[in-house]
Structure 1
Amino acid sequence: MFKIKWIALGLFGTLALQHTNAQQRKYVNEFMNLGVGGRGMAMSGAQVASVNDVNAAFWNPAGLNCIQTDFQVGAMHSEYFSSIAKFDHIGAAFPLRNRKGVLGISLIRFAIDDIPYTINLIQPDGSVDYSKVKPISSADYAGLISYARPLSIKRWIDRDDVSVSVGGNFKIIHRAVGSMANAWGAGIDLGAQARYGKWRLGANFRDITTTHTLWSFSFTDKEKQEFAKTGNEIVSRSTEVNTPRFVLGGGHEIPIRLRDSNRKAYLLAELNLDITTDGRRYGNLINLNPLSIDPRLGMEFGYNQRFFIRGGLGNFQRVLDDADTSNSKKRTMFQPTLGLGVKIKQFAIDYAFSSLNVQNSPLYSHFISLKLDINRKGSAFGIANSELDNGADKNSR
């Protein structure tokens, strides 16, 4: 574990110390693309068209408009790479007065904690002093303020099975590596979502204005000496640029007839295309420089709006075949995901499981999220949800 965390620090340090001047890079602020909520993670992130709860602030802010309670709060804890890295998310959303829109706020933290910082391990006389090893963290933070509202379209204003909504995020990003480096950035996301009968359509435009993350560095004399010995350039400031990222998707819900008419079930399938604009990305199935396209497929079976089984396929990659010594053959890899969900009255818990590199040496990741609906006594939302508790309201997922 000591060795793995030290390697992780080296990777973070290498990225942070590279000198740029508003330089465009791939994978900038990539922690903002990991995903939140057990439902979304179980469906491999295929959410842009169907997400309709507090987690929509991340997947598609327009989906916040589907919230049917006075106040909704959600939280998720997940662990990556056999618990080396931890990801935490908490969010809240509530409709504004007269249903003029929905306001949301979210906080995200992704970090590797307790990294042994060994720069002072070896003393000037060559002796080893483990008391000089100090734990540090490499942590990324994000705060999102979100707003969503419905759009009134005259042609469909009298139809209950047709709706269109739009939304947006203002996000602030903070990143830190020990006391050596920290960064601040800000950006804007815009989203739209439509429902037509059993069909769902969605689009999310992330970093639509291009997000700049400004890094500043502060090194001790000892750190400067060590970095100089290893050929690292000592910098004081740098800038990373997030180019826009587009997620387009569609889904279809199929009702399933059961013998008991009081109990209902459905099967939802959704396909998303995650489109980056920062150039060709190694391994992506579709590369159209400067665009790279990553497909995601998710499915959900719901029973009586209380029990859910989910699955998905994502992270498709074309990589060299390890069995081919000529390094000329490639094969397709993918990341499967599975999950379960339970909803009891106003409380929901969702679990998801995935495995990176499942075809070779798998690294397992687990995701657990909670969601709570809160209604004021006597409110329209509270009465409606109480009446639908034994039914199958499709907008309450």
Structure 2
Amino acid sequence: MLKEDPMRCQIRVLVLLLLLFPFTLVAQFRKYSNEFLNIGAGARGLAMGSAQVASVGDGTAGYWNPAALVQVREQPQLSLMHAEYFAGIGKYDYGNLAIPLKDGKRTIGISVLRFAVDDIPNTVFLVEPDGTINFDNITTFSSADYAFLFSYAQTLKMKNPDKKLNLGFNAKVIHRKAGDFATAWGFGFDAGIQYINKRLQIGIVARDVTTTFNAWSYSINDKMREVFYVTQNEIPVKSTELTAPKLIGGASYNFKLGKSVNLLAEANLDFTFDGRRNTVISSSAVSIDPKIGLEASLKDIFYVRAGINNFQKALKDEDSTYTQKVWIYQPAIGAGFRIQNVMIDYAFTNLANQSNPLYTHVFSLKLDLVKKKKKK
């Protein structure tokens, strides 16, 4: 009886874990948390409707699919992004540093994400004990969410040189803070696979594979507790928020339209297991949300992108009976250009949907850190 290659056994076990973890945990955890981690990373990915798990191959892979981070193999790469939401009220920043190891088969990376809203009015003490309103008692505070992703990726040896199989993992540390009275720490893991066969690429990612949790603690003084009690508001106590696992699968294909023109098309499917959602396919066991992205490139210098995601059913605006429903979606477009080792990307995306648009501009920068040659 022939023995099976140990590497193939490891791959099968990892694939099985990616597919089974969500089903084993759905019965126990149904809470939502860390929604800021679903925004995205990099203007390229946002312009393509967040369809990225298969085709991503730069530093932003630390967010989209950690397995693809191994494609950064020649020199370190720095990625930065800034976006402002809700007319500048919310600010979102992303940074990544990817460092290939000497063997060229492994890459490590660290990503930092921050979403913050500043100058939030604190009206707890707006009303004095005698019932009068004192606007001088209004103070402001900031709410900020941070995530630190530590990534590791490696490529496996394949018999066919045209085929590649990459594996990757993320360890996540999350810190959330609301003023001086609420803080949370959280931890979680992601795992991903990327398969490359010439122009075809396939990616699978299991996010929050072991269930990500946030442990909240509160610092409420006696004066604030008294206000909560008088106004019949619940006094917060220590609590834990749980993020259920999510499975994302996708495939991309690069169509050669000539010597210098390429057209990349990618489709992703997001599988969630925390109850029925307003998605294209929705059930109590699983909900499926599709994402579609396109990228046309000219000589790998200039890029034009478009994408659609977040399909939902909503009531028709002109319907006075409130019974007719239509499909709405979230569109995005963008562009990018490369100058030697510098890549600049732009995305114009709608954060809401086509019936209630909320557009924002996103800019990102990617820099290949070319090592200086030593002088003889």
- Normalising by structure 1, we get a TM-score of 0.84
The aligned counterpart of 2:273 is 277
Is 1:65–2:77 an aligned residue pair? no
Structure 2 partner of 1:9? none
Q: Are 1:327 and 2:322 matched, yes or no?
A: yes
1:364 to 359, 362, 366: 359
Structure 1 residue 200, shift from structure 2 partner: 0.9
- 1:331 and 1:167 map into 2 onto residues whose CA distance is 39
The 8 Å contact of residues 43 and 337 in structure 1, kept in 2 or not, is answered as yes
Q: Which runs of 5+ in 2 are unaligned?
A: 1-27
Q: Tell me the distance in 2 between the aligned counterparts of 1:312 and 1:199.
A: 19
Q: Does 1:243 align with 2:244?
A: yes
Aligned equivalent of 1:199: 200
Mapping of 1:16-95 within 5 angstroms?
A: 24-95=29-100
- Are residues 1:234 and 2:245 paired? no
Match of 2:350 among 331, 352, 355: 355
Contact kept, 8 Å, 1:333 with 1:357, in 2: the verdict is: no
Q: What whole-Å deviation, never above 9, does each CA across 1:65-87 have from its counterpart, x for those lacking one? A: 11143110011111122222111
How far apart are residue 313 of structure 1 and its match? 0.3
Corresponding position of 2:172: 171
Cα-to-partner distance string for 1:103-130 (whole Å, 9 max, x where unaligned): 0001110111111112233334555444
Question: For residues 157 and 73 of structure 2, what CA distance do their matches in structure 1 show?
Answer: 18
Q: Any unmatched runs of 5+ in structure 1?
A: 1-22, 259-263, 380-397
Change (3 A) 1:64 1:357: closer
Quick one: which amino acid aligns to residue 121 of structure 1? L
**2:303 alignment counterpart:** 308
- State the 1:89 CA deviation: 0.7
Given the superposition, is the C-alpha separation of residues 183 and 102 from structure 1 closer, same or farther in structure 2, using an over 3 Å criterion?
same
Contact 2:32/2:244, CA 8 A, preserved across alignment: no
Q: Give aligned pairs, total.
A: 348
CA distance in structure 1 between the aligned counterparts of 2:234 and 2:123, rounded to whole angstroms: 20
Q: Assess, with a 3 A threshold, how the Cα gap between structure 1 residues 178 and 290 changes in structure 2: closer, same or farther.
A: farther
* Contact 2:73–2:107 (8 Å) recurs in 1: no
Contact (CA 8 Å) 2:48, 2:306: kept in 1 or not?
yes
**Counterpart pick for 1:151 among 150, 156, 181:** 156
Match of 1:388 in 2: none
Q: Quick check: 1:344 aligned with 2:345?
A: no
Change over 3 Å in CA distance of 1:58–1:96 after alignment to 2: same
- In the alignment, does 2:177 pair up with 1:180? no
Paired residue type of 1:360 = S
Helix, strand or coil for the counterpart of 1:193? strand
| Residue 277 (structure 1) shift | 1.3
The whole-number CA distance in structure 2 between the counterparts of 1:219 and 1:88 is 30
Deviations 1:357-396 (A, max 9, x none): 45334211221111100121349xxxxxxxxxxxxxxxxx
- 1:183-224 CA-partner distances (Å, limit 9, x unpaired): 111001000101112111001110111112111112122322
Matched, 1:266 2:267: no
Task: Name the SS for the 2:103 alignment partner.
Answer: helix
